[in-house]
Amino acid sequence: MVFSSYSFLLLALPFLIVVYILAPEKLRNAILLLFSLGFYAWGGMKYLVVMLLSIAINYIFGIAIDRSNNMGMYVSRIVLAVSICFNLLLLGYYKYTDFLIETINNITEYSIPIRNIVLPIGISFYTFQSMSYLIDVYRGTIKLQRNPFKLALYISLFPQLIAGPIVRYTDIAREIDNRELSKKNFEDGIFRFSVGLSKKVLIANFIGEYARCAFGLRPGEISLVSAWLGAISFTMQIYYDFSGYSDMAIGLGRMFGFHFCENFNYPYISKSITEFWRRWHMSLSSWFRDYVYIPLGGNRKGIGRQIINILIVWVLTGLWHGASWNFVLWGFYYAGLLIIEKLLSKSVKLHWSVSRTLTVFLIIIGWIIFQTNDINHTGMYLRALLDITTNNRLFAQQITRFIREYGLVLVVAIVGATPVVKNTVEKTGVLRIQGVRVILFLLMMGASLARIVVSSYNPFIYFRF
Amino acid sequence: MVDMSKLSKARNGKRMAKYRAYRIKKNMKKELPFCTIIYCILTIVIALISFVKPYTDYSAFENRILSHIQRPTFDGVMTGTWFGEFETANLDQIIGRNVFIEINSRTLEFFGKREINSIIVSNNNDCLLQNSNEITDYDWMFIDNAVNDSFINRLCSVKEITDSYNGQLYYLNIYPRESFLYNKYPYINDDIIKYNDEREALMLNEISQKSIEVVDTSDMFKEHYDEYLYFYTDHHYTQKGAYYSYLKLLNAINDNNPEKDRLIFPSWEDMNYVRIDKPFMGSLIQQIGDTQYVDADYLEYALPYDYPGDYDRYEFGGISDLPLVRNEEISEYGWFMNGDNGNTVIKTFRPELPNILIIGYSFTDALELLSIYNFNEMHSIDPRRIEFDIYDYIKKVKCDYVVIQGECEF
């Protein structure tokens, strides 16, 4: 189930709110767990089995690691290694088997049949959450969760199950046992949810139409203007799509008393790529930092080792995003940029305006690598960015058309991607006035729901005549 | 020296800020969670009414069958496909669906969006135009594949048959809508108009070279460019557009058959003119789902005063009581001949007149209505809706004139 659906907005969520409020405190975890499993099963029951299996085995691994901690370092390391291997194999089987077969077929003369394995939704997120739990148990930074239902609730908690943020057990361990049911939490949470829903449905989907069109063009069809506008549109689409989903998750968590970590902090105002990755998908960046980069030695073992560590982390980050060589290339791209920044940071100082512009430019190029289908498509698209052969008339037509169709939403998107709105709202305190909040909430929810209803609007004009 | 008055002001300021924060906190504790309450009440009421109300089967506004909630199947639940269908059915059956569609249109309007589902709303906001302007650079598409060889081969096959029994074949080319409404597009891409015109010229030339009679309506449409020949909110021409096309066809038939009685059709002014007051639902409105354009068009038709009233109608060979002009709450292009039909025959019991067979898609509906006036038997075929062989049919009915409109597949 996704948040931006009829089933969730009009059936599941209101039902859950009512039941959760009316239920005695002791039953609230059980209600949330059952709801989360149902929420996940909505995408297909057979994927629920995979997740339940993952939860059960990770529960057992957690106990084993905890016990092995008393048996000496090597034993506990072996148990941890086995548990991590299990999780990586599970993720690898569903996510990378076909990719691996395709690659083998391409570089050898074999023609191994593709398995067409369907990726269970959210598996990348809940696998990483499980691994962070096991590693933290091994490190002794958290207490073992002996109640399997509470561990199941942590891993399957519906707000962050499908698209993050990647919540660490340590962040919500206390709230699983004891959290507050309050009017303020509900009110703040549902408002945050509506903001996220609007970001996704009203801005990301809207401007994404142009991006989809531009990235779907074939060689020869794409011009300089449509290539640039498509890239800018996608840059905005992916931010509003992903940060909108994170807002919805954080808002939903808040409604039920959980305080999830923030996942985005205005990434497009960054003055460097390093800063960008501190502001973009923060839960994933910090996960890789804490569980891969620092254990590999981070920057403590000299510049050569640091460069290797950065490369390892970014190839893994790329692969985490998807099973395609484009994502590997995307990982290398960011690894390269971060290494260059590390090497030049002390010797080169740029004016903030230059560094911000340069950073945004590099981010846009990164999204092109991310969004294109394969390396050839990436090359074609990047060449189109430099194609100055477009005639002036077409240039003017395409610019005019884009400004008229998408200009306003792009301006809204750009302004919203900076802290200007947030600062203004906080300064004026306008959202503290309940009437304003309610009206804004109704407008956002009404417009979003209308967009969702229209998504099934698929007229067939030759049906009757 | 410390300025005592400033210090005192600063302290007062801090106290006031603290007090304000305290008041806000206190008020918030008192406040009810209105957003949550409103959300729960509204969603539960909408979901309940949508669930309890009888199913709506058909949406006239969207011109499609709405889906129903199906019983879950084991496979559907395991693979998740049932849940997808459940979602679609709920969205289709939601109470006030048209209101949501309307809200969506207003939202798009707020953002200044003029293109919805590939339909562009024109500059003056009073009409809709079919999209002819992708973001594509059209330079790439010239013009190697302009001639539709397989269609020309089909035309030649039909010509062989009509020649075999001394019938005549006409290819009727209707001037395209994009070209006719050219100056109303908000940001026209000249290349596509140029491409359309050049391609059309190449195609017609190729057909002529096969000794097939081409009836090209372009000049007629250009001559009457200020008249209401194409709907703004529908991709078809109006009955008046069909009327001019039909005159052009009759002229071609008369010119090719000087030895026969001329086929005469009255002028537009000398006919029984009917303008329908009911709202017109064009195909393009149905695609963008915006009711504000319902009044942008109207449906009109004109028939000669001595239009044959005595006729038999057959559908696929069986007698039919379908009307020639439908009469329903909402008017649409499908009014003529009761919409697209696979195989219609109208017999008017006037054996002295010739017979005609019209083959084509929906543009022929309005044409068929007019042709009943001049022909004893009017046969029509919509190739999308038949399973029999068109060539066999032509051999069987041996109509004097066979007209093929547009590059239809058969």
**Portion of chain A with pLDDT greater than 90, in percent:** 47
Q: Chain B contacts of A460, Cβ < 8 Å?
A: 63-64
Choose, from A281, A321, A351, A377, the residue flagged as catalytic: A321
Q: Is B74 on the interface with A (CB under 8 A)?
A: no
Is-contact A447 B83, C-beta < 8 A? no
Regarding beta strands B377-381 and B343-347, do their DSSP bridges make them parallel or antiparallel, or are they unpaired?
antiparallel
pLDDT tier for residue B272 given thresholds of 50, 70 and 90: very high
Which residues neighbour A419 within 8 Å (Cβ) at sequence distance 6 or greater?
Answer: A266, A269
Q: At what angle do helices B34-52 and A183-198 cross, to 10 degrees?
A: 60
A251 exposure class (CB count in 10 Å sphere: 0-12, 13-18, 19+):
buried
Residue with tokens 């407008």: A443
Helix (H) or strand (E) run with residue B320 in it: strand B318-320
Quote the pLDDT of residue B64: 74
Indicate if A377 belongs to the active site.
no
B284 Cα to chain A: minimum distance (Å): 8
Inter-chain residue contact A454 with B289, CB threshold 8 Å: yes
Among A187, A222, A459, the residue with its CB nearest the CB of B36 is: A187
Quote the pLDDT of residue B126: 65
Amino acid letter for position A231: A
Out of A34-38, A155-159, B17-21, B152-156, least confident range: B17-21
For residue B46, give both structure tokens: 């909408």
Which residues neighbour A388 within 8 Å (Cβ) at sequence distance 6 or greater?
Answer: A224
ipTM of the complex: 0.78
- A461, pLDDT greater than 90: no
Quote the pLDDT of residue B190: 66
Is-contact A326 A376, C-beta < 8 A? no
Which residues neighbour A283 within 8 Å (Cβ) at sequence distance 6 or greater?
Answer: A164, A165, A166, A167, A261, A263
Among B34, B64, B87, the residue with its CB nearest the CB of A5 is: B87
Is-contact A259 A173, C-beta < 8 A? no
pLDDT tier for residue B140 given thresholds of 50, 70 and 90: very low
Q: Is B83 on the interface with A (CB under 8 A)?
A: yes
Separation of alpha carbons A170 and A33, rounded Å? 18
For residue B96, give both structure tokens: 């006030």
- B70, pLDDT greater than 90: no
Quote the DSSP letter at residue B138.
G
Regarding beta strands B401-405 and B168-173, do their DSSP bridges make them parallel or antiparallel, or are they unpaired?
parallel
Separation of alpha carbons A309 and B67, rounded Å? 54
Inter-chain residue contact B63 with A459, CB threshold 8 Å: yes
Q: How many other C-beta atoms lie within 10 A of the C-beta of residue B119? A: 22
Interface test with B, best of A454, A458, A462 (most B CBs within 10 A): A454
- Least Cα distance to B367 among B234, B239, B215 occurs for B239
A-B contacts (CB, under 8 Å): 195
- A368, pLDDT greater than 90: yes
Inter-chain residue contact B289 with A459, CB threshold 8 Å: yes
Quote the pLDDT of residue A465: 35
Is-contact A23 A31, C-beta < 8 A? yes
Q: What mean pLDDT do residues A161-181 have? A: 85
Q: How far is CA B177 from CA A331, B19, B181, B184, B357, in A?
A: 49, 69, 6, 11, 25
| Secondary structure (3-state) at B300 | strand
Chain B, 241 to 270: residues with Cβ < 8 Å from chain A are none
Residues B16-66 pLDDT 10s: 666 656 655 555 555 678 888 898 899 999 999 988 888 888 777 776 788
Q: Chain A contacts of B339, Cβ < 8 Å?
A: 464-465
Q: What mean pLDDT do residues B90-108 have? A: 85
Q: What is the DSSP annotation of B25-39?
A: HHHHHHS--HHHHHH
Inter-chain residue contact A465 with B78, CB threshold 8 Å: no
Quote the pLDDT of residue A267: 95
Among A186, A210, A401, the residue with its CB nearest the CB of B36 is: A186
Triad B310, B313, B314: Cα angle to 5°? 155
Helices (H), A289-389: 302-321, 325-344, 352-371, 375-385
Name the average pLDDT for chain A: 87
Handedness of CA B131, B134, B138, B140 (dihedral sign): negative
- Phi/psi at B167 (5° precision): -85, 180
Which residues neighbour A253 within 8 Å (Cβ) at sequence distance 6 or greater?
Answer: A157, A159, A160, A189, A259, A260
Is-contact A164 A174, C-beta < 8 A? no
Among A10, A187, A394, the residue with its CB nearest the CB of B47 is: A10
Inter-chain residue contact A451 with B38, CB threshold 8 Å: no
Inter-chain residue contact B186 with A394, CB threshold 8 Å: no
Among A222, A407, A465, the residue with its CB nearest the CB of B137 is: A222
Residues B282-336 pLDDT 10s: 888 777 777 777 778 888 889 999 999 899 999 999 999 999 988 777 777 888 8
- B10, pLDDT greater than 80: no
| Secondary structure (3-state) at A207 | helix
Q: How many other C-beta atoms lie within 10 A of the C-beta of residue A145? A: 22
Inter-chain residue contact A10 with B187, CB threshold 8 Å: no
Q: Is B190 on the interface with A (CB under 8 A)?
A: yes
Amino acid letter for position A126: Y
Separation of alpha carbons B1 and A444, rounded Å? 55
For residue B33, give both structure tokens: 């969670």
CA B62 to chain centre: 11
- Phi/psi at B216 (5° precision): -105, 120
Q: Chain B contacts of A213, Cβ < 8 Å?
A: 134-135
B24 Cα to chain A: minimum distance (Å): 8
Residues A30-54 pLDDT 10s: 999 999 999 998 877 888 999 999 9
